[in-house]
Amino acid sequence: MLTVLRTTWPLLLGILLLMVGNGMQGTLLGIRGAIEGISTTQMSVVMSTYFGGFLLGSRLVPGMIQKVGHVRVFAALASMISSVLILYAVWPHWIFWAVLRLSIGFCFSGVYITSESWLNASASNQTRGQALSAYMIVQMLGIITAQLLMNISDPAGYMLFVIPSVLVSFSFLPILLSRQPAPQFASIQRMSFARLFQVSPLGCIGMFLMGGVFSAIFGMASVWGSLKGLTVTEISAFVAAIYMGGLVLQYPVGWFSDHNDRRMIVMVLSLVGLIVSFVTLYVQPGIWGLLLTAALIGGVANPVYSLLIAYTNDFLDNRDMAAASAGLLFINGVGAITGPLITGWLMSQLGPEGFWVYIGFLLTLLTIYAGWRMLRRAAPAMDQNFAVIAPSATTVAIEAALENAGPDEAQKPAT
């Protein structure tokens, strides 16, 4: 690991600063929206547009990179991100914010694709697994650090919009000044959704449902906290606990899944998540109970995301994994777009409790469907190809992670 850090630290530092900037803007908008009197329904539209922009970027940015190269695309998108982060404070209107969120989602998608390509190219076959693990840890630490920075100034002011803009601007320096040359970018073959569903119905349905769960958790948590009357410190701690839970539980769940039926683990984790959601709904715990709830929900959601990708790839040859992952990410993105919209509507009808109703409902559906799929066909052979993958990772990182985690082509059993 020390060798990996010595050779890739400029890229990892840049990614850390990127995640701090992105993590701050998501939480800050939810809190500032409540201060400005923007309704829950309107804020749900604002939060949803980020995922729409991210999905659009994942489809269009690879073509842009192939036409003009990594450096130009990266520089253009980077400057736009830095500008948008400041523009939020200029006019706190939900339509204006929605347009900015759409554009920043598009830009961050492209920036992630570029930085992940560079990181992947800078690692050797022997160190790629460690580099991707470090990348996953850095992403989580960046989001957690962002929540700490939320407490250094008044969210009703201008400073908290300036800080992420400056951090994102600084993040480009170690990436663009890296001695590692810009990598070649090859387009990924697409797999039809009909073929993907035939390979893994649970993978497709599960990724759609988890898209809704993720966007509700990561997009609407600060809005929920504002409705509940939590302080800025409490809201930032709640969001940080979500990511901390995901960071802690990813690896033990991954190890366990490589030795057991992944569908069973998906079902059990989803069951734990729905129980936690509905207990929180009815018990109404204090702040320490909410932090425990956040850690458990994050500890469920992050591993299930990786499990669904690994389970789908248990039925595929290595050459089809990248195409399948691209399809699963698209399905996840479609679910993510609808998540804040439905969550916002439920919270406008039921109050803050609508947040937990929606998450619990989706996890209930996933629990039932995973259990039903266990009755429909036998479990595939375990190839021990679980890869720890963050929900914000693009196809570039997922492809590299699966390449490192999966067996050699010659050892892969026929499907």
Tokens of 95: 């339509």
d(CA 186, CA 334): 24
Q: Give 222's contacts (C-beta < 8 A, 6+ positions apart).
A: 26, 27, 28, 29, 30, 31, 235, 239
For position 400, what pLDDT does the model report? Answer: 64
Distance CA 127, CA 139 (A): 18
Name the percent of the chain in helix, strand, coil, to the closest 5.
80, 0, 20
CATH architecture of 2-176+191-411: Up-down Bundle (1.20)
Q: Which helix (H) or strand (E) holds 271?
A: helix 262-283
What distance in Å separates the CA atoms of residue 42 and residue 20, rounded to the nearest whole number? 25
CA–CA separation, 126 vs 306, rounded Å? 22
pLDDT in tens, the chain (415 residues): 566 566 677 778 888 888 888 889 889 999 999 999 999 999 999 999 999 998 888 888 878 877 887 778 888 888 899 899 999 999 999 999 999 999 999 998 888 877 777 776 666 656 666 676 777 788 888 889 999 999 999 998 999 999 999 998 888 787 777 666 666 666 666 778 888 898 889 999 999 999 999 899 888 999 999 999 999 999 999 999 998 988 888 778 877 777 778 889 999 999 999 999 999 988 888 899 999 999 999 888 888 888 888 788 778 776 676 677 778 888 888 999 999 999 999 999 999 999 999 999 999 999 999 999 888 887 766 555 666 666 666 666 666 666 666 554 433 433 3
Residues in the chain: 415
Residue type, 233: T
**Most distant CA pair in the chain: distance in Å?**
60
Which pair of tokens denotes residue 147?
């929540």
Q: Rounded to whole angstroms, how far apart are CA atoms 136 and 128?
A: 12
Is residue 132 within 8 Å of 401, Cβ to Cβ?
Answer: yes
The DSSP-derived string for 377-392 is SPPPPP--------TT
The Cα 87–Cα 67 span in angstroms is: 29
- Which of 262-297 are b and which e, b meaning 16 or more Cβ less than 10 Å from the residue's Cβ? bbebbbbbbbbbbebbbbbbeeeeeeeebbebbbbb
pTM of the model: 0.85
Give the separation between CA 53 and CA 111, rounded to whole angstroms.
13
Amino acid letter, residue 329: L
Site of tokens 């399948």:
324
Amino acid at 222: S
